Structure 1
């Protein structure tokens, strides 16, 4: 499993690089293309790529149970709504700030699982979740001049993605991951396509077409690498490498957009990462205690 963990860690690092580079490309496009048009065009390319991958793997079918179909549709709708909130924030906020807020997802998913799925969580993890939310508040700073409607949009993205992940937990293991990914990409494309009807479309420049193509490739790479990372490595070992996405966000934000995060943003990000890592550690300990001992 050691080699599997190392491969999993490498794949997770690649996934976070893919997601970070995708976000940077999409933010770059915000200067040229309207929000819905950009998301629709990227969604179109993503859906086509996932459809081709699923077809080549023989997984492009709808032989799902009625319950799974409902769950996949619900997840795809949540994916589409969260994409709107996320890109609305990304197009108008520093890349590092949006990414740091999204790093609170392991904490919000844990909290939601306690509330809605009645999963047991000890007081230490609950305390870590509360401290992690303090880190989020340090970044969005409600009541300050920096707190805008786009800060609310980033928080809304976290809330909707949390719901999406809860729905994902309910989908049976028989449903292929690539099928779920294709349905999500299709949902984002259709949602953004409807939204784009209210916008004045812009003819993309060659640079914009290139950025859209690169963003599409990176988002597909990111998703596939995440799935492979979780399958070849132990979740407790691989999951912490998700936080490397913050490094990409800080680096790309500075190099591409000249964004320099302030001290509160850095401190809040560190608090979110620290509490997220602690929560993962406690979760792994709890799982080990529940596993039957081999005599």
Structure 2
């Protein structure tokens, strides 16, 4: 693909990452059902196995180009990190309300900014830092507004610890996503991340793996499809914009959680939610300078 006018498509990566996060939010809801039924380990394994099966035909249709060693190293690394991210997050998710787990996980974009500076040599400006902090404040406003609404889980402290570990791994995952996106097409990224994560998790299968029932297969199928779409959109976006410009959009997941909660469960949208949403959207707008977008030959 030839280089195109960067100004013409400058908004495209930001739209793609916002839609990607919406699909991830649907996946989280489906995975909570599966994790409650099967446990976090089994739900994560089956989701990745199904995801690999879903995206394999797309990769074959693109020509099934064998990745080079630089790509393979990134695929192995990100797949392994992704397995850790998902297992710890869903372990925490079955012990915490969805909104609370997502709120805690939002330390990841801030960590990712500095990892991007360290590993990718991106120059993290005050604008990007300010945008992430503004988004984090928005999440905190929403989270504080919801304090006391959910019943405390007896293992809530374990859930909080697991989500914090997941958030740290996810920050590294965001940086790896940028590195992958500059070298590989979206279908390849989605295939190898799902495949490697499933292979890594398979080592514990003889002791931990649980076979899903019919209802769990539905939840797993939905979550796998959502994950594949989200992975491909995210890879496309990270191939065209810097990590520091895109990570504040991670905060929009809380907005999607509020929306889905209202549609599916009749949860009221409170004033703190509205105020937090304004701050989150403002942070995303600040973080998306039109001239920073990059074009690649993906």
Q: Which structure 2 residues correspond to residues 185-200 of structure 1 after superposition, within 5 A?
A: 185-199=194-208
TM-score normalised according to structure 1 size: 0.73
- Of the three residues 179, 186, 189, the one matched with 1:180 is 189
User: 1: CA distance between counterparts of 2:288 and 2:107?
Assistant: 12
Describe the shift of the 1:132–1:247 C-alpha distance in structure 2 as closer, same or farther (beyond 3 A): closer
The aligned counterpart of 1:97 is 100
Of residues 268-277 and 145-154 in structure 1, the stretch that sits farther from structure 2 once superposed is 268-277
User: Which string of whole-angstrom CA distances, capped at 9 and with x for unpartnered residues, describes residues 205-241 of structure 1?
Assistant: 322222221222222222233345667x8789x9576
TM-score normalised according to structure 2 size: 0.72
Describe the shift of the 1:274–1:193 C-alpha distance in structure 2 as closer, same or farther (beyond 3 A): farther
User: 2: CA distance between counterparts of 1:180 and 1:167?
Assistant: 11
Q: Which structure 2 residues correspond to residues 22-33 of structure 1 after superposition, within 5 A?
A: 22-33=27-38
Q: Does the Cα contact within 8 Å between 1:100 and 1:269 map onto a contact in 2?
A: no
Q: Does the Cα contact within 8 Å between 1:19 and 1:218 map onto a contact in 2?
A: yes
User: 1: CA distance between counterparts of 2:277 and 2:162?
Assistant: 18
Q: Which structure 2 residues correspond to residues 115-264 of structure 1 after superposition, within 5 A?
A: 115-123=118-126, 125-129=128-132, 148-171=157-180, 173-199=182-208, 201=210, 203-228=211-236, 243-254=251-262, 256=264
Q: 2:81 matched to 1:78?
A: yes
Number of aligned pairs?
279
Describe the shift of the 1:197–1:280 C-alpha distance in structure 2 as closer, same or farther (beyond 3 A): farther
Q: Does the Cα contact within 8 Å between 1:132 and 1:275 map onto a contact in 2?
A: yes
Unmatched tracts of structure 1, length 5 or more: 289-295
Unmatched tracts of structure 2, length 5 or more: 294-298
**Higher-RCO chain (CA-CA 8 Å, sequence separation at least 6):** 1
User: 2: CA distance between counterparts of 1:210 and 1:184?
Assistant: 22
Describe the shift of the 1:228–1:123 C-alpha distance in structure 2 as closer, same or farther (beyond 3 A): closer
